[in-house]
Chains A and B, each alone.
Chain A
Amino acid sequence: MEWHDDAIVLSVRQHGESGTILEALTRTHGRHMGLVRGGRKMKPVLQPGNSIRLQWRARLQEHLGNFACELDTARAGALMESREALAGLNAFTSVASATLPERGPLYEPVFVASTILLDAMLEDGLAHWGAIYVRWEAGLLEALGFGLDLSSCAATGETEDLVYVSPKSGRAVSAAAGAPYAGRLFPLPQFLLGSQNEVGADDIAAGLALTGHFLFERVLRPTGKPMPSARLRLDSLAGHQDGESK
């Protein structure tokens, strides 16, 4: 068995003295693991967030298999320089690792969105890529079959003035229909509806709370997994920025 694919490094774990178990998000083979021989020399390449070209080989499909990798885009070095980018990178890798099933082949849109997200993290701070991160998690939920329905109000069917999301159904709720339950509904950041208005720190914090809730309730909790601590740290960083902006 052999294939070649583009991939993003999610995590690495030492295996024996010189081997490394690499966990990567691939373009067409989903989240995939494999053994990299002589992984110690490859350490600069095998840093989370880097894009690589992978060759996977195994005798049988169900084997762990061996990876041969070549660096495509190095991001880890630049991402390490910024506290916010590092928090974003850790949240991205831990959420992808915890939620995507291993060897699920149907996630090319998630892979493409991940590349866009990581490139955005290189450019600027959380205020710049926070909205992209929230969209990435919303896309992840959709790819996993738990997408939010933000097309119309769950109560009235209205398509205008959607400002809340129901924590139970994941559907949008209009301002008028949601007013009596405002305290129990999630605020809907308008950038998730395609609004071109400037995205504020409060929008990012609200978006993270929204996607975080559904990731936990619909994907992580049913499989007995906690919310990754790196994701919680991103929440607190966004909450801190929101507090500062007020």
Chain B
Amino acid sequence: MSAIGPEIERLIQLLAKLPGLGPRSARRAALDLLKKREVLMEPLALALTDAARAIKTCEICGNLDTASPCALCCDPRREGRVLCVVEDVADLWALERAGVFKGRYHVLGGALSALDGITPERLNVGSLIDRAKQGVEEIILAMNATVEGQTTAHYLLDALAETGVKVTRLAHGVPVGGELDYLDEGTLSAAFKARRSL
């Protein structure tokens, strides 16, 4: 007979599916939740239920928010003529944390990958082209500096050519705080190619 009841076992199994948690850490998290039932477990359960019910994918940009269109798309202070294209919502959040971009976003939903069967039809490319035709002056391709990310960027460049919109992309090179000695050759090569006058 198991010392752990089926409800707790199920909780552990579900927690173990979260990123960063394995079976042992899930067991610890479950035990902690059970010990703090009123201050943590019940509010968490309520928050999860509310989030599952209320959060939607924005019909314009693909961001996650409680409303569609999302707060970013509705914000009149944001520059509507500049679009920043990102692969995933996590990338959008990273750019928002940095606070460097005050335009609007477009979440593609991934990057082209022959291996994983991600074709242009599975990405939000059609809606990007439609948005590009609606008074957009610049599209910034903020794709990952990977072969897949840059293949997607080149594909989008071709797809957006008909719209006549200016297309730019993020620079590749030395990260802030990076020491040249520790950088890989690919990054150094990209940094050298993108050098600029001071």
Query: Which residue numbers of A lie inside 8 Å of B, CB to CB?
Result: 11, 13, 17, 43-45, 47-50, 71, 73-81, 83, 86-87, 89-90, 94, 97, 228-230
* B147 CB, nearest partner CB in chain A, Å: 5
**Which residues of A lie under 8 Å from residue B20 when comparing CB positions?**
17
Q: Are A74's CB and B185's CB within 8 A?
A: yes
Taking CB atoms, residues of chain B closer than 8 Å to A77 are 145, 172, 184-190
Given A44-B187, A77-B172, A77-B185, are A230 and B146 also a contact pair (CB < 8 Å)?
no
Q: Does B119 contact A (CB under 8 A)?
A: yes
Question: Is residue B57 within 8 Å, beta carbon to beta carbon, of the partner chain?
Answer: no
Give the dominant DSSP class at A's interface: mixed
B19: CB under 8 A from chain A?
yes
**How would residues 146 to 177 of chain B score, 1 for a CB under 8 Å from any chain A CB and 0 otherwise?**
11001100100100000000000000100000
Q: Interface SS of chain B: helix, strand, loop or mixed?
A: helix
7 closest residue pairs by CB, A with B: A77-B186, A74-B185, A44-B184, A74-B186, A80-B150, A77-B189, A77-B190
Count how many pairs of residues, one from A and one from B, have CB atoms less than 8 Å apart in the complex. Answer: 64
A78–B188 Cα gap in the complex (Å)? 10
Give the chain B neighbours of A43 by CB distance below 8 A.
146
A73–B116 Cα distance when bound, in Å, is 26
- B46 contacts partner chain A, Cβ-Cβ < 8 Å: no
Q: Which A residues are in CB contact (< 8 Å) with B115?
A: 11, 13, 97
A94 CB contacts on chain B under 8 angstroms: 114
B173 to A, closest residue via Cβ:
A77
**Chain B residue at minimal CB-CB distance from A9:** B147
* Chain A hits for B189, CB < 8 A: 74, 77-78
Residue contact A81 to B190, C-beta cutoff 8 Å:
yes
Instruction: Flag whether B193 is at the interface (Cβ < 8 A).
Output: yes
* Additional 15 contacts, C-beta under 8 A, given A43-B146, A77-B184: A13-B116, A17-B19, A17-B20, A47-B146, A47-B147, A49-B147, A74-B184, A74-B186, A74-B189, A77-B185, A77-B187, A77-B190, A81-B190, A90-B147, A97-B115
The complex places the Cα of A54 from the Cα of B193 at a distance, in Å, of 29
Residue in contact with A80 in the complex, picked from B116, B157, B190, CB distance below 8 Å: B190
- Shortest distance from the beta carbon of A231 to any chain B beta carbon, whole Å: 9
Provide the residues of chain B in CB contact with A47, threshold 8 Å.
146-147, 186
> Contacts A11-B115, A94-B114, A230-B114: A86 and B185 contacting too (C-beta < 8 A)?
no
Q: Which residues of chain A are within 8 angstroms of B186 by Cβ–Cβ distance?
A: 44, 47, 50, 74-78
Question: Which residues of chain A come closer than 8 Å to B185, judged between CB atoms?
Answer: 71, 73-74, 77
Nearest A residue (CB) for B191: A77
Q: Chain B residues near A48: list those with CB within 8 A.
A: 147
Tell me, in angstroms, the Cα distance from A228 to B185 when the chains sit together: 29
**Contact at B193–A76, with CB atoms within 8 Å?**
no
Q: How far is the CA of A89 from the CA of B146 in the complex (A)?
A: 13
Q: Which residues of A contact B145 (CB under 8 A)?
A: 77, 80
Closest approach, in angstroms, between the C-beta of A112 and any C-beta of chain B?
Answer: 21
Bound Cα distance from A145 to B35, whole angstroms: 67
Question: Which B5-32 residues have C-beta < 8 A from chain A?
Answer: 19-20
Closest to B149 in A: A80
CA distance A104 to B19 in the complex (A): 36
Residues of B contacting A97 in the complex (Cβ-Cβ under 8 angstroms): 115
Known: A50-B186, A74-B189. A80 touches B147 (CB 8 A): yes
Of the listed residues B19, B146, B157, B186, the one surrounded by the most CB atoms of chain A closer than 10 A to its CB is B186
CB nearest to A229 among chain B residues: B114
Chain A residues whose C-beta falls within 8 Å of the C-beta of B150 in the assembled complex: 80, 86
Residue from B151, B184, B193 in contact with A78 in the complex, judged by beta carbons closer than 8 Å:
B193
Q: How close is B178's CB to chain A, nearest CB, in angstroms?
A: 12
How far is it, in angstroms, between the C-alpha of A83 and the C-alpha of B20 when the chains are bound? Answer: 36
Chain B minimum-CB-distance residue to A50: B186
Q: Are B114 and A228 in contact (CB under 8 A)?
A: yes
